[in-house]
Amino acid sequence: MDSLAELNALIDEWDAADDARRIGSRPHSVGEHFAIERPLPARLPTEPFETGRLFTPRMDRFSQVTVRQNQYSVPIRLIGRTVRVLLHASKLVIFDGRREVARHCAGAEAGCAARLDRAGTGPRRRQVHPVHDAWWAAVRKIRGDAEGTRALIQVLLLHRGMAHEHVVAGIATALAAGALTPDAVAVEAAKLPKPTRSRSTAGHPSHPRHRLGRPRECGR
């Protein structure tokens, strides 16, 4: 099976076929017995209630949390903090307080894309650039969703120590060269010249304060 949805559809087919089955010499089939017993149980409660299991993991330095031996991505602004995780049968939802910040498929279900709170991927919103998405898509195509997302997180962490424009340029260069690793992005970004700090004109020798003239002679 490629997904839980396909498995559930197959189980529904098995249930429909099982309704016509008869147990031993009983006069009624399984489906007929179920129709008799269906009105007997009490009604389900009308109030909504949470069916997921709660976890409170702490984010590691790679912007990930571990739930039942599986790692899931979380926005990097939450590194080092404890988050709330609700684990359901087919999905996993991560909260920072009451705010949902990420949603993933539970386990390693194929074909399921992660959804992150893009506003929280870094200290500056401008860090999310179209070249990030292009690089991420290329990496996921080769290495899969899980490994591709981990690689993207390591690239986003480069923004903490490098200029935003340098990281974006490094991603573009690495993508064009087919170098789909965070190390390649870091190397290409480090090749660019560091921005020079603008000096104040007050400290420049041409400032009037630093100009020396001939002293005036008394009596003239």
Whether the predicted pLDDT of 188 surpasses 70: yes
Q: For the whole model, what pTM was predicted?
A: 0.40
User: Average pLDDT over the chain, rounded to whole?
Assistant: 78
Which range of residues forms the domain containing residue 64?
1-22+48-121
Q: How confident is the model at residue 118 (pLDDT cuts 50, 70, 90)?
A: very low
Q: How confident is the model at residue 123 (pLDDT cuts 50, 70, 90)?
A: very low
Q: 110 and 3 in one domain?
A: yes
Please indicate, yes or no, if residue 203 is contained in any of the structural domains: no
Whether the predicted pLDDT of 86 surpasses 90: yes
Please indicate, yes or no, if residue 211 is contained in any of the structural domains: no
**Long-range contacts formed by 110-118: CB under 8 A, 24+ apart:** 110/2, 110/3, 110/145, 111/2, 111/3, 112/3, 112/145, 113/145, 114/72, 114/73, 114/145, 114/149, 116/73, 116/74, 116/75, 117/75
Rounded to whole angstroms, the Cα distance separating 86 from 64 reads 15
Give the max Cα distance, the chain.
136
Average pLDDT value for residue range 87-102: 90
Q: 147 and 90 in one domain?
A: no
Q: 91 and 9 in one domain?
A: yes
> CA distances (Å), 37 to each of 12, 34, 40, in order?
20, 5, 5
DSSP count for the chain of H helices, then E strands:
5, 7
Average pLDDT value for residue range 178-187: 89
* pLDDT score recorded for residue 54: 93
Question: Count of domains in the chain?
Answer: 2
CB 117 within 8 A of CB 83: no
CB 121 within 8 A of CB 153: no
Residue that is last in its domain, among 101, 121, 141: 121
By mean pLDDT, which of 40-49, 122-131, 172-181 is the weakest?
122-131
